[in-house]
């Protein structure tokens, strides 16, 4: 490719507080749901889904976690120690020429219990320092307000987002951070992968499943989701009031699902599954529930508490742009009896026989990125931002300390080409791209350190052994050149 990306294209990378900061009980921070996510050794699991330790946590397991002083059993407690090493890390990102750095604020660092009346000044100062460090290098921060870190107390005491008071607590937090960082942060995302509340209700919604009647839990999830939609609309309003030139986006897990065959029943099944993804962005972009979601509520007999002012708020404050994560794709079929299924991010689908998969079974599908971009842009006609995309792999450190991750370079190269085609041939408007994750960090789904995404390696293993030393992989210089040539080197 010898043509550049549009001028001003925001190249960068993305991380989340809960997976990298550590310092889980430092600086006045409260405990968050991620701090009780236990590492389970994948080697002993029959299915990788079982290592998703956050899916089925009980009050008893939370108590055990709180009693446990071995932080290595709960790897997100130490992360990669970004809390103490952020200067070194941001310098490394600046070394690649980053234009943008997506990171999240840990809600529990600002409001330790979620419902506190006064914010924690030490937490606010920490992010002041982090943003100043970014701005020093001309890196624009892109901030997620909530990325899998609801304060634990908020979940224990209020049942998380199921309680309507969650809206008040969250908007108090949003008002605090948007006022405080008004001069430092222009780009904001409300909830990371808002749709994930249906896949990991504890991490996203602070819901402890065992507290509810099994046949009512789905309704509970949708009620909590409704509160998040209202809170997201109010967060957009508050952000615009406090920072007039701010841009606020929704963030969707852009799962891409192909029909397994051209049998009409498979096409129908695929359309239904895709709707379960679009339901979230349809609501946040158009400001109202799509008819198919309302039908589903009715058909399932849900009795959701939706106030008239909620409908008004959702309509008045839709998002400015659409951001999404894209990792892989799967297929859908009306009858899966004889078909092999596997994971795509935290969702399960029919495996596509035409695609290779990474070590965790996620299919590698660069064309699916172009398909996703066209799907979203044609549907909403709003600017897009790819805020997560990358390859989880096991890297090997050679005796001389080098790390040859050509597989990662190949992955990015193919995805960047697809991205370029979507922009130049399909007319998609794309604001920028942040890879997941520019520096190795703890995996969200498996709590492993060995599932590495970075251009920068962190010397730490799954058991917490290591020096935390940062090492540049081959992909580091490669991405640096991509950025400095604005994509022409690909
Ligand atoms: C996204 C999440 O779904 O996928 C990130 O927003 C996560 O938090 C990323 O880390 C990759 O998933 P995993 O499970 O490999 O860490």
Mean pLDDT of 166-195: 98
Mean pLDDT of 467-489: 97
Q: Cα(72)–Cα(78) distance, rounded to whole angstroms?
A: 8
Q: What are the pLDDT digits (tens) for 321-364?
A: 999 999 999 999 999 999 998 877 778 899 999 999 998 889 99
Q: Cα(478)–Cα(409) distance, rounded to whole angstroms?
A: 7
- Ligand 1 pocket mutation pick from 326, 444, 452, 453 by most atoms within 8 angstroms of CB: 444
Closest CA to 446 of 358, 366, 345, 335: 345
Closest CA to 457 of 480, 437, 435: 437
Query: Residue 437: is the preceding peptide bond cis (ω within 30°)?
Result: yes
What are the φ and ψ backbone dihedral angles of 326, each rounded to 5 degrees? Answer: -140, 125
What spacing in Å lies between the alpha carbon of 117 and ligand 1's midpoint?
A: 32
Catalytic residue list: 388
Boundaries of every domain in the chain = 10-484
pLDDT band at 45 (very low <50, low <70, confident <90, very high): low
Q: What are the pLDDT digits (tens) for 247-286?
A: 999 999 999 999 999 999 999 999 999 999 999 999 999 9
Cβ 434 under 6 angstroms from ligand 1:
no
Quick one: the chain helix, strand, coil %, rounded to 5? 45, 15, 40
Residue nearest to ligand 1 atom 16, measured at CA:
443
Interface ipTM = 0.99
Cβ 16 under 6 angstroms from ligand 1:
yes
What spacing in Å lies between the alpha carbon of 472 and ligand 1's midpoint?
A: 21
Cβ 131 under 6 angstroms from ligand 1:
no
**In the numeric block, which tokens belong to residue 389?**
């995309």
User: What is the number of the ligand 1 atom nearest to the C-alpha of 444?
Assistant: 16
Q: What pLDDT is attached to residue 53?
A: 44
Strands 187-191 and 247-253: parallel
Q: What are the pLDDT digits (tens) for 77-130?
A: 999 999 999 999 999 999 999 999 999 999 999 999 999 999 999 999 999 999
What spacing in Å lies between the alpha carbon of 309 and ligand 1's midpoint?
A: 34
231 burial type by CB count under 10 A (0-12 exposed, 13-18 middle, 19+ buried): buried
Residue nearest to ligand 1 atom 9, measured at CA:
444
Fold of the 10-484 domain: TIM Barrel (3.20.20)
């Amino acid at each position: 490719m010898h043509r550049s990306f549009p001028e001003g294209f925001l190249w960068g990378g993305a991380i989340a507080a809960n997976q990298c900061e550590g310092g889980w009980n430092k600086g006045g921070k409260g405990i968050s749901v991620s701090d009780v996510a236990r590492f389970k050794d994948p080697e002993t699991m029959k299915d990788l889904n079982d290592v998703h330790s956050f899916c089925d946590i009980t009050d008893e397991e939370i108590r055990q976690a709180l009693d446990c002083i071995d932080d290595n059993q709960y790897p997100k407690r130490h992360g990669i120690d970004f809390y103490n090493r952020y200067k070194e890390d941001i310098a490394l990102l600046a070394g690649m020429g980053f234009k943008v750095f997506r990171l999240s604020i840990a809600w529990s660092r600002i409001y330790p219990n979620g419902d506190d009346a006064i914010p924690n000044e030490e937490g606010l100062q920490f992010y002041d320092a982090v943003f100043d460090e970014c701005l020093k290098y001309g890196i624009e921060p892109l901030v997620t307000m909530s990325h899998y870190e609801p304060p634990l107390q908020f979940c224990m005491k209020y049942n998380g987002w199921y309680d309507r008071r969650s809206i008040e607590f969250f908007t108090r937090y949003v008002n605090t951070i948007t006022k405080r960082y008004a001069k430092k942060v222009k780009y904001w995302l409300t909830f990371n992968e808002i749709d994930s509340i249906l896949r990991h209700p504890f991490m996203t919604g602070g819901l402890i499943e065992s507290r509810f009647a099994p046949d009512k839990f789905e309704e509970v999830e949708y009620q909590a989701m409704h509160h998040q939609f209202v809170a997201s609309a109010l967060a957009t309003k508050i952000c615009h009031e406090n920072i007039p030139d701010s841009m606020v986006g929704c963030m969707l897990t852009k799962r891409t699902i192909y029909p397994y065959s051209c049998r009409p029943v498979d096409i129908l099944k695929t359309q239904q599954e895709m709707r379960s993804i679009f339901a979230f962005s349809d609501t946040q972009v158009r400001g109202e529930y799509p008819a198919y979601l309302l039908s589903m509520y009715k058909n399932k007999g849900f009795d959701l508490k939706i106030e008239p002012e909620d409908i008004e708020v959702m309509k008045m404050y839709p998002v400015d742009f659409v951001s999404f994560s894209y990792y892989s794709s799967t297929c859908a079929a009306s009858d899966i009896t004889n078909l092999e299924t596997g994971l795509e991010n935290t969702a399960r689908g029919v495996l596509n026989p035409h695609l290779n998969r990474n070590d965790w079974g996620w299919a590698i599908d660069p064309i699916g990125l172009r398909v996703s971009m066209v799907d979203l842009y044609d549907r909403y006609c709003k600017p897009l931002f790819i805020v997560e995309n990358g390859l989880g792999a096991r890297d090997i450190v050679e005796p001389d300390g080098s790390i040859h991750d050509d597989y990662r370079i190949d992955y990015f190269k193919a995805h960047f080409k697809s991205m370029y085609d979507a922009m130049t041939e399909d007319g998609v408007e794309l604001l920028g791209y942040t890879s997941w994750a520019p520096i190795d960090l703890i995996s969200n789904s498996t709590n492993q350190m060995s599932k590495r995404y970075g251009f920068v390696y962190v010397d730490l293993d799954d058991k917490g052994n290591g020096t935390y030393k940062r090492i540049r992989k081959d992909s580091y210089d490669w991405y640096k050149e991509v950025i400095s040539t604005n994509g022409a080197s690909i």
